Copies of this chain bind each other. A is one copy, B any other.
Amino acid sequence: MRQAVDILRFQTSGRGLMEITGAVVQWVDEQAMTEGLLTLFCRHTSASLLIQENAAPEVRADLEAFFERIAPEDPALYRHDDEGPDDMPSHIRAALTQVQLSVPLIGGALALGAWQGVYLFEHRTRAHRREIACVLQGG
């Protein structure tokens, strides 16, 4: 068994789900392994990683609306607002969706299901530059 590590960088365009499956698969392919485990780790507290439906765009809009409902930008609800009204809702969304995910590599391909994509979930209103640490261990 051997391993590869790297930092992938992405520019988001503000709040919402941004698919990064292509960039992730390209990096995995470059490591030329057949079986193993890929782990992605988002180095931020106001963005996260999510496996989600990659077909219907309404899913992403509905997910966004869901998180607005349970963690609204309502100043009356939060004490922490150092970076604006989207600051604390962002931390809550990141806590609920996680900043890390691992995907098995089997037969030379990530074991994603037919309808699964890997998404970087930006929780801040404005665009941000985001770093994702990657580890692939296998052979």
Contact = CB atoms under 8 A, between A and B. Distances in A.
A34 B59 CA distance: 40
* Number of copies of this protein chain within its complex: 3
What is the interface of chain A mostly: helix, strand, loop, or mixed? mixed
A41 B1 contact: no
A4 B77 CA distance: 43
A3 to B, nearest CB: 6
Interface string A85-103: 0001001101111111111
A45 B39 contact: no
A127 interface: no
Contact of A100 (B82, B92, B94, B101): B101
6 contacts: A39-B104, A41-B102, A41-B111, A43-B112, A43-B113, A100-B103
